[in-house]
Structure 1
Amino acid sequence: MKFIQSRDNALFKQLRKLAESGRERRKAGLTLLDGVHLVQAYEDAFGRLDTLIVAESAASGEVADYAAGREVVVLADALMRDLGLVDTPSGLLAMAPIPAAREGFRPDRDAILLDGVQDPGNLGTLLRTAAAAGIRQAVLSPGCASAWAPKVLRAGQGAHFALDIHEDVDLLATMAGYAGTTAVTCLDGATSLYAAAWSGPVAWVFGAEGQGVSQPLIEAARLRIRIPMPGAVESLNVAAAAAVCLFEAVRRRLA
């Protein structure tokens, strides 16, 4: 067992780079997993990780139980906080190889297409919602947050490992080659979600928190959908809107 309490330690410097820089994560092909649930979900999908990083104060409880019998590096609590991965660190970290997509994008299968979603919490929740709804592929435009950023992974709670995630993709080209229905949420010229008709696979397009889906993508979509909202609000958070749409599709298939 190794104990790290210096900011000059090489491993701590590497952890900090991975925590702070998408470029460093891409260069190293590594990301950071925070929490027992996320580490376990990764290991269930891809196999056992070599080393676990445990906070000094996590000497008992769930973290200690999970790390028992494993190769462990103990990190001083102050250093764990300095990484700034999440607001409330769990006390357990792991460096993990970023998984490659299992296969290329399939234009004959359901998908979510994300246009400039920059908030890590929203992006992780969107991926989690898609996986829960049975979707297995997610396509992200260049303007999206990094799917493999620690905060996005934390919000996804393991959903990443059930998805093929394609980043920095031209969504217009993806929509042009899609074999099923491309559906976008918007207001102008849109049909109620509950009255809209579609069949076969659907690629659902969801946009950035403030701006929504960009106009070229709206114009390229084969189906424009609005979510009826009889209450005193005009719009939904993008993750909430996606949940409504994706589980309406689930409801129809189960009916």
Structure 2
Amino acid sequence: MKLITSRNNVLYREIRQLAGSAQARRKSARTILDGVHLCQAYLEYIGNPIFCVVNESSKNQPEIAEIFEASQVRGVSCIILRDFLYETVSQVEEGVGVLFVIEPPVYPVPEKMTQTAVLLDRIQDPGNLGSILRSASAAGIGDVFCSRGTAAAWSPRVLRAGMGAHFLVRIHENIDLEKLVDVSGVPVVAMVPTAKDRIYDFDLRQPLAWLFGHEGQGVSDTLQSKARVMLKIPHAGKQDSLNVAACAAVCFFEQLRQKAG
């Protein structure tokens, strides 16, 4: 256990860079988990972080003390930051005072898809990406493939929106979706607002790959041409389209409904 009291401490400066700089996260292949829920989920589903960092004034709070003690028992390097230092690192408003430094897990990319999966074509909003991951996890989907141009899945904002889903699905980043679709072993379903067919009229009980596109531009024309099926969610009101994260949730749980029916 180490107490850090100075802004000039090398380890503190490294943690602060990870919290605030996407470039630092990419270069080091590390990221920050901020908050009790994410840290608990990581310990439960993944394993040991590189560092466990707590706020000095919060270290005796029951939830934080439990995480801190569990990390010590596992041999994790544990750090206490003075309050004024921790406040510059944590990005959670009114956070309770615990974060992990981790290396995001990297999974081998399958040669082709054989089970239900999610393909994300340039989804740029971190909140949307995190929500899609959370819905995919809740629906029991194992793999999420993110194209180049999609928001960094392991950024602090996406992690907070995902609420632990990152540790329950296999996330693959910077994927060439066109090549993946070309060799897919399951039907690829592109969600396109102008499609003729509705998701409710299509047999979703089979494994398939859900394809969702950029918030403004939608699925690229090339990917649309390669998809085996194009579907839409019908609307009753005047709103012309759903938020992509809401669309994904409707699709995943309509598939679950049909499987259960």
TM-score by length of 2: 0.89
| Alignment partner, residue 216 of structure 1 | 222
Residues 1:96 and 2:102 aligned together? yes
Match of 2:237 among 227, 231, 244: 231
- Alpha-carbon distance between aligned partners in 1 of 2:69 and 2:56, rounded to the nearest angstrom: 14
Amino acid at match of 1:41: A
* Structure 1: unaligned runs, 5 residues or longer: none
Q: 1:88 to 1:177 in 2, by over 3 A?
A: farther
* Structure 2: unaligned runs, 5 residues or longer: none
Residues 1:85 and 2:86 aligned together? no
Amino acid at match of 1:131: S
Asked whether the equivalents of residues 218 and 224 of structure 1 are also in contact (C-alpha less than 8 Å), the reply is yes
Asked whether the equivalents of residues 186 and 207 of structure 2 are also in contact (C-alpha less than 8 Å), the reply is yes
- Alpha-carbon distance between aligned partners in 2 of 1:9 and 1:40, rounded to the nearest angstrom: 27
| Alignment partner, residue 67 of structure 1 | 68
Q: 1:81 to 1:119 in 2, by over 3 A?
A: farther
Q: How much has 1:188 moved relative to structure 2?
A: 2.2
Q: How much has 1:106 moved relative to structure 2?
A: 4.2
Asked whether the equivalents of residues 81 and 89 of structure 1 are also in contact (C-alpha less than 8 Å), the reply is no
**Any idea what SS the aligned residue of 1:44 has?**
helix
TM-score by length of 1: 0.91
- Alpha-carbon distance between aligned partners in 2 of 1:88 and 1:201, rounded to the nearest angstrom: 42
Asked whether the equivalents of residues 86 and 151 of structure 1 are also in contact (C-alpha less than 8 Å), the reply is no
Q: How much has 1:144 moved relative to structure 2?
A: 0.7
Q: How much has 1:87 moved relative to structure 2?
A: 4.0
- Alpha-carbon distance between aligned partners in 1 of 2:85 and 2:249, rounded to the nearest angstrom: 37
Q: How does 1:107-122 map to 2 (within 5 A)?
A: 107-122=113-128
| Alignment partner, residue 151 of structure 2 | 145
Q: How much has 1:238 moved relative to structure 2?
A: 0.9
| Alignment partner, residue 170 of structure 1 | 176
Q: 1:231 to 1:5 in 2, by over 3 A?
A: farther
Asked whether the equivalents of residues 102 and 164 of structure 1 are also in contact (C-alpha less than 8 Å), the reply is no
**Any idea what SS the aligned residue of 1:194 has?**
helix
- Alpha-carbon distance between aligned partners in 2 of 1:138 and 1:165, rounded to the nearest angstrom: 5
Q: How does 1:4-15 map to 2 (within 5 A)?
A: 4-15=4-15
**Any idea what SS the aligned residue of 1:124 has?**
helix
Asked whether the equivalents of residues 121 and 146 of structure 2 are also in contact (C-alpha less than 8 Å), the reply is yes
Q: 1:73 to 1:98 in 2, by over 3 A?
A: same
Any idea what the Cα deviations from partners look like across 1:129-178, whole Å, max 9, x if unmatched? 11111110010011011111122112112211122211111111111111
- Alpha-carbon distance between aligned partners in 2 of 1:164 and 1:139, rounded to the nearest angstrom: 8
Name the count of aligned residue pairs: 255
Residues 1:53 and 2:65 aligned together? no
- Alpha-carbon distance between aligned partners in 2 of 1:48 and 1:84, rounded to the nearest angstrom: 20
Residues 1:186 and 2:192 aligned together? yes
Amino acid at match of 2:65: A
| Alignment partner, residue 33 of structure 1 | 33
- Alpha-carbon distance between aligned partners in 2 of 1:136 and 1:106, rounded to the nearest angstrom: 14
- 54-63 or 241-250: which moved more? 54-63
Root-mean-square deviation over aligned CA pairs: 2.0
Q: 1:176 to 1:79 in 2, by over 3 A?
A: same
| Alignment partner, residue 136 of structure 1 | 142
Asked whether the equivalents of residues 55 and 81 of structure 2 are also in contact (C-alpha less than 8 Å), the reply is yes
Q: How much has 1:102 moved relative to structure 2?
A: 5.5
Q: 1:119 to 1:80 in 2, by over 3 A?
A: farther
Q: How much has 1:50 moved relative to structure 2?
A: 5.3
Q: How much has 1:126 moved relative to structure 2?
A: 0.7
**Any idea what SS the aligned residue of 2:57 has?**
coil
Any idea what the Cα deviations from partners look like across 1:86-127, whole Å, max 9, x if unmatched? 444331111112211166354111110001111111111111
- Alpha-carbon distance between aligned partners in 2 of 1:229 and 1:90, rounded to the nearest angstrom: 41
Residues 1:19 and 2:19 aligned together? yes
